[in-house]
Each structure stands twice: as C-alpha cells, then as structure tokens.
Amino acid sequence: MRIYHKSSELKSTVEELKTQNRSIGMVPTMGALHQGHLSLIKQALDENDAVVVSIFVNPTQFNNPEDLEKYPRMLETDVELLKQLSDDIMVFAPSVEDIYGTDVESTSFSYDGLEHEMEGRFRDGHFDGVGTIVKRLFEIAQPDNAYFGEKDFQQLMIIKKLVEKYEIPVNVVGCPIYREDDGLAMSSRNIRLTPAHREASPFIYKTLQAAKVKFGTESAKAVTDWVESEFAANDLLELEYFIIADEQTLKTITEKTNSNTYRGFIAVYAGDVRLIDNIALN
C-alpha cells in the first residue's frame, strides 16, 4: 500500500494512470474509518481500476474549534483497516500546509441556495470549507468516480452542485447510510460518545423511522411537532433541528405533493458530540 503525503507525488502517479487509460475512484474521508467508509471503498474498488482514499481533517469546514481539535486522528489504524481491503489502495494523507500553503482559508461558493438550509444555518462557513477541499482533492486525484455517503445528504447534494457548476469531470456516487445493529448511523464521531450517550443514541433512528410512518397520514408540521416533543422528553439527547425537506431543493416543506420526494433531516447533541442522520420519507 502506498501512502502519499504530498499532492505533487499523488498527482504524478495519477498522470501515469491516466496515460494508461485506467479509471480512478476516490473516497474522500477525514479518517477514523468505520464500516460505512469501508463500504464506500469496497464499491470504489469494484467499479474502478485504481482507488484513492484521502484522509485529511479539513480545518476550514469546522466552525467550532473544539470540534476540530477533538476530531479523531488515527492514521496508522486507518491504514491497517485499508490493508485488509486491498494492498492496492492509494492513501492520500496530506498535511494542512500541503493543501493550503500558509493561507488556511476557504473559497466562497454558491450552491444555488442548498448551502443556506439545515447544516448551513447551524454551521457557518461549513460548506465553503467542504467545497474548497473537495474541489482541491478532485484537482489532485482527478477521479472518474467519487463516493460519498448519504448520511451527509446535504453535503452530497452540494458536491453534485459543485461538480455541475464548475464542470468538474467526475461522476459523484451517493451511497446508502451504513448503520450499527441498533440503528445508529455510523460516524467517526461515534467513538467520542460516552457509554450513556452511546446507549441513548439509537433513539435518533427509531424516532426517524416512526416519523416516516406518521408522515404517511399526518402533515409535515404535525410530524415535526411530534419529533420535537419526543426529544424534549429525552434527558440525554438534545435536538438541534428536525425538518422535513424536499430532497431536491432541501427546503423545509409546508405541504406534500405527490410529485416530490421528501426526507426527514435531524441534528442532535449527545453530550458534546453532534450527530446527524436522515431518512427518505417516500
């Protein structure tokens, strides 16, 4: 397995692969790999001749300095996990300086309004940071296919918009949410949960599933009010938002129509760990 710490080195390997007409799959990550990441990487291995997994905790997408500081970093363990999948994976683990030089700033992007909803309202500048790093990673690794999990559904939609607007020649593939047996969506942040918060956290998906059933017969407002009341009665989990939105525009809906598809989106604090999840409603 080859680990690249410098973008110039990965770029020259990529150029070589391009001259051999070999397809490249990329899975961008911030490390602390779990089964959810591994499922994306397996799919990338199945569908491409070569695969780049980037491991980079991107400072410009954190609006909360404490979250950035506490974000798990475990490159050695990650590399061991990747080796079990394939020795051919190219790991890209650059330094902040390699990516940003001395100017650790994000570019400002417009994603036609997608950035103002949900996470955009609660995490100022987050999607500028995500766009900046993903665009940079695509420039370096030049993937034909790039894989992202639907847990970060808004991020997935925003990356599709980025690619469309900047005419970046990459096929963005969305992959289903990977869950623990008790329903908790897999996330690198889960390892920071206290035992009590870990035990409490399956409540998030259980509530989403019940909300989906209710949405069959009740209005979006009634379902939203119900979810809010469920969390108000939970001592360990603090709801930041639950909204029902149109899957394409990500705008909160007031009325359902038959022609649109909807999703329920949730953000919850379990102690100081922020968890997000979502569910397709039709």
Q: Indicate which residues carry an active-site annotation.
A: 37
Nearer to ligand PAF, 147 or 215 (CB): 147
Nearer to ligand PAF, 61 or 278 (CB): 61
CB 29 within 8 A of CB 23: no
CB 43 within 8 A of CB 86: no
For the bound state, the minimum distance from the C-beta of residue 126 to ligand PAF, rounded and expressed in Å, comes to 9
Residue with tokens 């475990």: 74
Out of 7, 39, 48, 58, the residue judged to bind ligand PAF by CB under 6 A: 58
Residues 6 or more apart whose Cβ sits within 8 Å of residue 213: none
Nearer to ligand PAF, 115 or 244 (CB): 115
Would you give the distance in Å from CA 219 to the centre of its chain?
29
Out of 33, 52, 130, 243, the residue judged to bind ligand PAF by CB under 6 A: 130
> If binding means CB under 6 A, how many residues of this protein chain bind ligand PAF?
10
Q: How many Cβ atoms sit within 10 Å of the Cβ of residue 62? A: 18
The three-class DSSP label of residue 89 is: coil
Token reading at 218: 């009740």
Interface with ligand PAF, residue 30, by CB under 6 A:
yes
**In this structure, are strands 237-246 and 262-270 parallel, antiparallel, or unpaired?**
antiparallel
Interface with ligand PAF, residue 29, by CB under 6 A:
yes
What residues from 139 to 168 belong to the interface with ligand PAF (CB under 6 A)?
A: 152, 155
Please give the Cα distance from 29 to 256 (Å, whole number). Answer: 35
For the bound state, the minimum distance from the C-beta of residue 201 to ligand PAF, rounded and expressed in Å, comes to 19
Residue with tokens 């780049």: 52
From the list 43-51, 129-137, 221-229, 272-280, the region that binds ligand PAF by CB under 6 A is 129-137
For the bound state, the minimum distance from the C-beta of residue 148 to ligand PAF, rounded and expressed in Å, comes to 6
**Chain positions contacting ligand PAF, by CB under 6 A:** 28-30, 58, 61, 130, 133-134, 152, 155
